[in-house]
Structure 1
Amino acid sequence: LSALLNHLYVLIPVMDDAKHYWVGEAEIDKLLSKGEGWLENHPAKDLIVRRYLRNRGTLARIALERLAPETAGEALPPEVRVAPEEALEVPIRLNDLRMDAVVQAIRATGGTTIADLGCGEGKLLFRLVRERWVHKLFGLDPAVRELEWAAKRLKLNEFGGPPEGRVTLLHGSLTYRDSRWAEADVAVLVEVIEHLDEDRLPLVERIVFGETAPKSVIVTTPNTDYNALFANLAPGAFRHPDHRFEWSRAQFDAWAAKIGETYGYAAAISGIGAEDPVLGAPTQMAVFTR
């Protein structure tokens, strides 16, 4: 009976294609709670999520990302749970591990002015703005709505928010040179390149590494070798419906080497998340320095 009621809670507003009150981020948690155990594998998952959230693209994308096997349904092994507090039972989500690793990598470069390219709703910016060693932040994204969510998350121009000028959000694209973030000494692309058409990647490479050429560039992307360990992911499928490609470790290594040879950067590659002895870690990261 409980399972039936959970289905009805989600599907009645979906079939009605309307919710008669304002839909905010809290609705994502309600949806995932009521959909636990069935929604992540439902063949109409995307449609259900979009309609439940009244076709609000940003909310739907966040919900689908949390339902995706990369960040939601798959519990990470015990060795990557919160340490050393063994009493904490809930495993760390891969997204949290990724953010931790990226922040540490940025700090290790010594850079203090950071450009988050493809910043989305500002998760990384929110982490960085609390760091005293960060002098200035830029967030670039092509989606206006995402930037609005980032501004809200960061409390820009609000009491208690960062000082004026410390965080600048920019509406723009990686496929165009943009002098507004050129002063950054570190550029970061967190789970961004796989959302680009692969034939557009050389243009982005030239703009980021060749023309703007910050001292350091940090790139993370899924390791497709690891996909075999996601029980809910069909063979050959991508982790997110918007991914245009996903690279193996060998492909990522080759790409990083090409960037280094072409633009004069040295690349250090590492994995993020629990590492399988054969298939590697779920996320791969390259730190480019010149």
Structure 2
Amino acid sequence: MAPVFSPPLHRQRHQFVIDFVKRQKPQKVVDLGCSECSLLKKLKFHREIELLVGVDINGAIIKKKMHGLAPVSTDYLQPSYDQLRIELYQGSVTQKDMRLRGFDLVTSIELIEHLTLDDVERFSEVVFGYMTPVAVIVSTPNSEFNPLLPVLAGFRHSDHKFEWTRAEFQSWALKVCLAYGYDVEFTGVGKAPPGQQERVGFCSQIGVFHRLGGRESSNVLSDDDAEDGFSYTLLYSINYPSLRDNNILRRVLVSEVLYWAEKLKRRWMEEKTGERDEAEECLRASEQRIEMEEKQTACGARTNHPVEQCGREVLEVQEGEDEEVFWNNRKGQQESCILHRSVSVPLAVLWSCCPKVSALSGSLSNLRHLLMDEPNVKLSQDGSAVLLQEQDLEEEEEEEEDNDVEDSGYGEASQCPHSAEQEGDWEANI
């Protein structure tokens, strides 16, 4: 009975690597023979990885697929605290490049069978002797399994130079361990039909190598090593947006502050006027303006109404601090007091009632510091509150008239900067 692999064999190999990453949480990972970058596209979602590198001798296929590793719009709109850098290189695994030293994990998935036996020796020296990663995952076809594969004559792929039995693979792996200071575990993916697993083993055999001494083991660059320099060609590199970047942190924080301040202002206005229907917004704003004008006796005069920012519960919390939130004069001039008022939303209220604002800023003083020089945020003179302009009734009416004549709108959009594992023909339909 011919084996049927579910999920497909290449997905099982990738899932083996992903499961290893979930357990070991490596920060620096390189995939040798990355080909179409399909494994890298899956690993980029595991944000414990800070540096993700792919290497393949076929630069054309990398260039064709590399843009699939670029950040998407949500990565810019909702950046995380995690850092991720992706680099793709064209180069041979038999050559040394000092940029690939000191990684936590090196993967070589269905690669070594594409090398000559002499190149396998050079591969062993480069990966285990020069790069000296903490862990290495090597997968290669198990020739003992081949008789069970349908419509297969010879090797599984026309470019394969050899296909090892389990004994041959284990012999090579143990020599590597002895020469370069590693130990190895043998396993695989692609189980044989019932009753035949012990006789033929896995379809793809896997060796998982661990450096003796782990991360504590030294990795010193000698003068001879330094002479190797950069033998690979960098084809692609990208830094994913991260809140550890101060510029990105400020942008996200400002966006959150303005969003919540505007939301709280509108909520206060609705509570003040009893406004519920957006169609009555102009009328309600006009009534509110008249009421506020009656209570304001001078430019900058303060009302007795606090901003009810998080509902009536906050009103109770803030009732002893009603002077912090008020309708006030924007420019300090008598004549402009009526037409150009603003709502003051205290930073203390924003920080305490908006979890994301407090998480991004860390402290109230830090929030004030981060907003101090932001051109899109207007603060009060003492820097304790965000000032939001109240739109004049006349302007609202003009906008309504414009909307009646022509239905048009403008939105602010975020501007975003925008081969080893070769599956054999026999795998295509399995």
1:270 equivalent among 168, 187, 210? 187
Query: For 1:122-173, what per-residue CA distance to the aligned partner results, in whole angstroms no more than 9, with x for missing partners?
Result: 01101100112222101011111121133122136x6557999611011111
* Aligned residues of 2:140 and 2:204 also touching (Cα < 8 A): yes
2:49 pairs with 1:134: yes
Q: Aligned partner of 1:147: which letter?
A: I
Name the larger-Rg structure.
2
Paired residues for 1:37-76 under 5 Å: 76=4
The aligned counterpart of 1:153 is: 68
Distance (Å, rounded) in 2 between the aligned partners of 1:161 and 1:190? 29
Paired residues for 1:180-195 under 5 Å: 180-195=99-114
The aligned counterpart of 1:196 is: 115
Structure 1 residue runs of 5 or longer lacking an equivalent are: 1-73, 78-90
Instruction: Give the CA deviation at 1:105.
Output: 2.3
Instruction: Give the CA deviation at 1:204.
Output: 1.1
Q: Aligned partner of 1:76: which letter?
A: V
2:120 pairs with 1:205: no
2:152 pairs with 1:224: no
* Aligned residues of 2:96 and 2:130 also touching (Cα < 8 A): yes
2:213 pairs with 1:285: no
Distance (Å, rounded) in 2 between the aligned partners of 1:101 and 1:150? 23
The aligned counterpart of 1:245 is: 162
Q: 1:109 to 1:98 in 2, by over 3 A?
A: same
Q: Aligned partner of 1:247: which letter?
A: W
Distance (Å, rounded) in 1 between the aligned partners of 2:23 and 2:105? 11
Instruction: Give the CA deviation at 1:96.
Output: 0.9
Q: Aligned partner of 1:268: which letter?
A: E
1:175 equivalent among 73, 81, 94? 94
Q: RCO higher in 1 or 2 (8 Å CA, sep ≥ 6)?
A: 2
* Aligned residues of 2:103 and 2:131 also touching (Cα < 8 A): no
SS of the equivalent of 1:189 reads: strand
The aligned counterpart of 2:133 is: 214
Q: Over the residues paired in the alignment, what is the CA RMSD in angstroms? A: 2.0
SS of the equivalent of 2:206 reads: strand
Superposition TM-score, scaled by structure 2 size: 0.44
Query: For 1:28-53, what per-residue CA distance to the aligned partner results, in whole angstroms no more than 9, with x for missing partners?
Result: xxxxxxxxxxxxxxxxxxxxxxxxxx
Distance (Å, rounded) in 2 between the aligned partners of 1:261 and 1:174? 21
Q: Which runs of 4+ in 1 moved over 4 A?
A: 158-165
* Aligned residues of 1:105 and 1:287 also touching (Cα < 8 A): no
Q: Aligned partner of 1:173: which letter?
A: S
Q: Aligned partner of 2:124: which letter?
A: E
Identity %: 34
Q: 1:161 to 1:282 in 2, by over 3 A?
A: farther
Instruction: Give the CA deviation at 1:265.
Output: 0.2
Q: 1:199 to 1:131 in 2, by over 3 A?
A: same
* Aligned residues of 1:122 and 1:149 also touching (Cα < 8 A): no
* Aligned residues of 1:219 and 1:287 also touching (Cα < 8 A): yes
* Aligned residues of 1:190 and 1:219 also touching (Cα < 8 A): yes
Distance (Å, rounded) in 2 between the aligned partners of 1:232 and 1:185? 39
Distance (Å, rounded) in 2 between the aligned partners of 1:204 and 1:254? 16
